[in-house]
Amino acid sequence: MKTKEIKDILGHAFDSVSKYKGVFTARKGFYYRHGHTEEMSVDEVRSKLPEATIFDSGEIWKAFNGGALLKNQSHWFVKFTV
């Protein structure tokens, strides 16, 4: 599958989707958690892409840096293949 297809399937659940060496990474940025967890991000991918094989997930916390790329800000991520 192509990255655009994955973005369309996941919809607004994630802020960005990228692909590197066949592994997709979906990221959702945050400033406040509002009760959201890493597991909720994994569940979102599983519900919309049941055939996905999830390799890794986590939470990255960084001090606020306005204008930085999403991967350089606080975010949850899920790495998977389809």
Give 16-64 pLDDT, tens digit per residue. Answer: 999 999 999 999 988 766 767 778 888 989 999 999 999 999 888 877 7
For the entire predicted model, the pTM comes to: 0.83
> For the sheet containing 53-60, what is the strand order?
16-20, 23-29, 75-81, 53-60
Nearest of 37, 22, 28 to residue 73 by alpha carbon: 28
Number of domains, the chain: 1
Where in the sequence is the domain holding 36, given as residue range(s)? 3-81
Give 59-75 pLDDT, tens digit per residue. Answer: 888 777 777 677 767 89
